[in-house]
Amino acid sequence: MAAINAWHFVNGKWVAGDPYLMTAWSHATWMGAAVFDGARAFEGVTPDLDLHCQRAVRSANALGLRSPLSAGEIQEMIEDGIAKFPKGSALYLRPFLWSTDGWMAPAADSTRIAISVVEYPMPDPGKGASCTLSKWRRPSPETAPTDAKAVCLYPQAGRASAEVRSKGFDEAVMLDPLGHVAEFSSANLWMAKDGAAHTPAHNGCFLNGITRQRVIGLLRKAGIAVYERSLDYRELLEADEIFSTGNFGKVMPFTRIDDRDLQPGPICRRARELYWEFAHGG
């Protein structure tokens, strides 16, 4: 594995690099009881870090895990890790929780935590991205722990990503079990049409992203209509703009869907401007 510039808080201390965590007989190794959350530090700010830490604890609870640290303690440790890097560094912040014991269900009191603070640049919004429809769908809440940011959900997203990348696209559009647009494989999905923003209604098959919720509020406060509703894929093909919201890149434009080229538009630009203003205390 390539060397990474990272610090990990594990076993009560900070360790540089990329430490080993699980054993061959750890419950999570073969039963998959593991969750994480992702937050960002960039330009000296950590927007919604408290909400990401709170969601990490909720995700653990949803899988029958019990976090050894409270959300506030996780946030304090992340802030301690951020201080190990030069001020303003672009960092990926990841609390990761997993089980070491249990039978089918994890033993809650066996939960361990590793907190990662990793140097990772913010993606360039000027590059744009391409997308197309994947055959792989998001699961319903009755069939998978969709109320958690659970590791076991990501192989399905990974299959969707691999499928569309083999066709020359950057990102996969995933449908819900009923055939409506759910999200991208790694971020929440948005489109703009006739001056309004549209995003799939949260129906339980995908996470109601923290950045998604933040951008909905910011756009509405700025007087831009936001519709949370069912979307068909054909609507994306006719959209004025397509963009994503998510922790990794925050607000990112798409410049191609299938064989149709798009330009980054005013709603995506405004959403990104509003988010950066919010992140910097505006």
**Percent of the chain predicted with pLDDT > 90:** 97
Backbone angles phi, psi at 112, to 5 degrees: -120, 165
Strand order in the sheet with 130-133: 181-184, 171-175, 130-133, 256-257, 260-261
Closest CA to 95 of 11, 3, 16, 9: 9
Question: Domains of the chain (ranges plus CATH)?
Answer: 6-119 (3.30.470.10), 127-279 (3.20.10.10)
pLDDT band at 272 (very low <50, low <70, confident <90, very high): very high
* CB-based contacts of 62, cutoff 8 Å, min separation 6: 35, 145, 147, 148, 150
Residue 3 confidence (pLDDT): 58
Indicate the average pLDDT of the chain.
Answer: 97
Encode pLDDT of 178-206 as tens digits.
999 999 999 999 999 999 999 999 999 99
Cα–Cα–Cα angle for 241, 246, 247, rounded to 5 degrees: 145
Is the pLDDT confidence value at 4 over 50? yes
Average pLDDT over residues 125-145: 96
What secondary structure letter does DSSP report for 106?
B
User: Which tokens sit at 23?
Assistant: 């054993």
Neighbours of 165 (CB within 10 A): 13
**Percent of the chain predicted with pLDDT > 70:** 99
Encode pLDDT of 200-237 as tens digits.
999 999 999 999 999 999 999 999 999 999 999 999 99
Find the Cα–Cα–Cα–Cα dihedral 114, 117, 119, 124, rounded to 10°. 100
Closest CA to 122 of 41, 36, 18: 41
Between 175 and 2, the more confident residue is 175
Residue 1 confidence (pLDDT): 41
